[in-house]
Amino acid sequence: MNGVKDPVGTWRLNLAACRTGFPWQTPRHMKWSWTSILAVLGLATTGCRHETSVGPAGAAVGTAAGAAAATSTVIRHVDAGGAERLIADGKVVVLDVRTPAEYAAGHLEGAQLINFSAPDFATNLAKLDRQQPYLLHCATGRRSTAALKVFEELGFRDVTHLDGGLKAWTDAGKPVSR
């Protein structure tokens, strides 16, 4: 060993001994140090809950408690096929966070418009039922991904994100309303 064991049972590094070896000859006690660091980082994330995505692509689902949230927000990620199934089941309210002009050019059937770029976005979002499941999208997924944080902060219970946005929807050959 290139170290000395202290009374607590941990290894102290003998730097002089480490400098004499080759880079691939890492002392065993240094490997334990990295393992310990990784274990601590793993413990820091044990409060997360994960579920399987609705879409066949499969994406991790995490929970996060917002500052104003009494319960955690479950966020799911789906592809166009998964979103189509959710809409067909009638279990979600579709929210479009694009601009009014983009919405007028084409949107998902029955989607409600709440402009993410508007200064009163959070105020308008706060007027919605937080217990209702929502399907969220924008044009490509950038704005709707940013909007997820606001959903968490406001304490929405269940939000599903259409990955790739309306572009992914239309690329999959799904219909839009005008």
**Residue numbers annotated as active site:** 138
Cα 114 from chain centroid? 20
Reduced DSSP (H G I as helix, E B as strand, rest coil) percent helix, strand, coil of the chain, to 5: 35, 20, 45
Count Cβ neighbours within 10 Å for each residue of 113-132 and write b for 16 or more, e otherwise.
bbbbeeeebeeebeebebee
Tokens of 167: 């572009």
Rounded to whole angstroms, how far apart are CA atoms 94 and 110?
A: 7
- Contacting residues for 78 by C-beta, under 8 A, at least 6 apart: 53, 54, 55, 57, 59, 86, 135, 160, 161, 162, 163
